[in-house]
């Protein structure tokens, strides 16, 4: 046992040194932890302060936006009120104007205002149209030039069909030349008969 005493003392001293070393490391780690907590708290304070400032700014911005929107709406309502009042005044004015309208007097005022003092030219003498100048006394002779071209005959036939369709019966168009010729021949025959009877 006496031989083991130095070894035991050596072990105790070794353990004491290890304990001191561990205590030193523990204090060092504690100091590091305290510094880390201090740094974190400082960062958190700055972060919370910046966040709080930003939130305050956002809140103020929202308040300003709401106030501006309210002002815009208020101005819009004021403008609408002015427009409605103007419209009511216009309607009242128009109603009064319509109530005082007199078509006869307004027409007379218009005529007097825009009447021209320039004398109007005299109206021309009435004349018959060349187609209406025949009063029935004109006598057509057989030698009068009456066109009998193919185009005239074509349109005469068209006209005969149209008139016949309207009258629902077939009609016969008599040429003026034939009418005049028959009239002349009839007059000649009557003169001959008269001469014969007279003789």
Separation between Cα atoms, residue 45 and residue 110, nearest integer Å: 89
**Do residues 184 and 142 touch, judged by C-beta distance below 8 A?**
yes
The number of C-alpha atoms within 13 Å of 14 and in the hemisphere containing its C-beta is 6
The number of C-alpha atoms within 13 Å of 73 and in the hemisphere containing its C-beta is 6
Please check the confidence at residue 192 and state whether its pLDDT lies above 50. yes
Please check the confidence at residue 155 and state whether its pLDDT lies above 70. yes
For a pLDDT cut of 70, what percent of the chain falls above it?
70
Please check the confidence at residue 95 and state whether its pLDDT lies above 80. yes
Phi, psi of 13, rounded to the nearest 5 degrees: -65, -40
Please check the confidence at residue 146 and state whether its pLDDT lies above 60. no
| pLDDT band at 148; cut points 50, 70, 90 | low
Task: Name, in order, each residue with C-beta under 8 angstroms of 141's C-beta and a sequence gap of 6 or more.
Answer: 180, 184
Q: What angle do CA 193, 198, 199 make, to 5 degrees?
A: 100
- pLDDT of 184 reads 45
Find the mean pLDDT for residues 31-37.
90
Average pLDDT, the chain: 76
For a pLDDT cut of 90, what percent of the chain falls above it?
28
Separation between Cα atoms, residue 130 and residue 78, nearest integer Å: 77
CA 134 to chain centre: 60
Could you read off the pLDDT of 108-141 as tens digits, one per residue?
A: 877 777 776 767 777 777 676 665 555 555 555 5
């Amino acid at each position: 046992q006496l031989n083991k005493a130095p070894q035991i003392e050596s072990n105790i001293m070794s353990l004491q040194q290890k304990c001191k070393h561990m205590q030193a490391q523990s204090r060092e780690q504690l100091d590091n932890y305290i510094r880390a907590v201090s740094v974190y708290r400082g960062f958190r304070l700055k972060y919370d302060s910046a966040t709080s400032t930003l939130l305050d700014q956002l809140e103020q911005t929202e308040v300003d936006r709401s106030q501006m929107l309210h002002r815009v709406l208020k101005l819009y309502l004021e403008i609408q009120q002015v427009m409605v009042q103007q419209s009511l005044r216009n309607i009242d004015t128009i109603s009064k104007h319509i109530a005082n309208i007199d078509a006869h007097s307004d027409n007379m005022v218009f005529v007097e205002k825009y009447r021209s003092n320039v004398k109007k030219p005299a109206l021309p003498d009435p004349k018959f149209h060349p187609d209406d100048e025949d009063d029935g006394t004109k006598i057509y002779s057989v030698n009068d030039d009456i066109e009998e071209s193919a185009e005239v005959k074509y349109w005469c036939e068209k006209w005969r069909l149209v008139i016949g369709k309207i009258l629902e019966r077939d009609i016969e168009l008599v040429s003026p030349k034939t009418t005049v010729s028959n009239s002349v021949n009839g007059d000649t025959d009557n003169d001959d008969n008269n001469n014969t009877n007279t003789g």
